Amino acid sequence: MKHHREFEIAWMGLKEGTHEFSFEVTDQVLNDLDYAHPDFENLNAKVILNFEKESSFFQLGFDIDGTLDVACDRCGDYFNMRLWDEFKLIIKLTENAAEAERQNEEEEADVVFIPRSETVINVFGWIFEFIMLSIPIQKIHPNKPDGSPGCNPDALRLLKEMSADTATRRRLWEGLQPFNNPDPENPETN
């Protein structure tokens, strides 16, 4: 595993106020840092981090913009999907590591506690998490400019044929309907 220091922010040396950092995240970076990503390929993301430093806390704003290749949930073919999202995170400073750990267990997910003795913050874990959250749950090819589906036409045809078989399946089960809701008064149907 390689070490990517470009994802570390030495906050102790920063003046109070807003600072901007830019990060490039690709498949190679994920592989170097041993982050598994079986759901996509060809990640090319740019993350802009607005780091606002105050005396006892930091407010981080992550802007994610990029693309990746994902498998379509409808047809199974890969397509290039655009990523865009924004996330906020607050980091509060505590006196020691034990207090930070206790606070992290009790607090909401968008607030993190670190001890003042940690003068460097590695933001890659949050970047990876936010990239994963930027990928929609349902991934379907966008429509073509003419309005037709962007999915593989052979897969769509096969899905249509398979859904046409539902009427045949319903007729197959018609004779078993009385057994679905047995009559408690009539022991012959139980």
The Cα–Cα gap between 16 and 58 comes to 9
pLDDT tens, residue by residue, 109-126: 678 888 888 888 999 999
Condensed to tens digits (0 to 9), the pLDDT of residues 59-85 reads: 999 999 999 999 999 898 999 999 999
pLDDT the model gives residue 164: 64
Q: Is the residue at 66 inside a domain?
A: yes
Asked, for residue 65, whether it belongs to a domain, the answer is yes
Domain count, the chain: 2
Q: What is the pTM of this model?
A: 0.75
Each residue of 7-50: pLDDT tens digit? 999 888 889 999 999 999 999 999 888 888 888 999 999 999 99
Q: Where in the sequence is the domain holding 13, given as residue range(s)? A: 5-134
Provide the token pair at 124: 């890659």
Q: Is residue 141 assigned to a domain?
A: no
Please report, for residues 63, 133, 154, the alpha-carbon distance to residue 23 in angstroms, rounded to integers and kept in the order given.
10, 17, 40
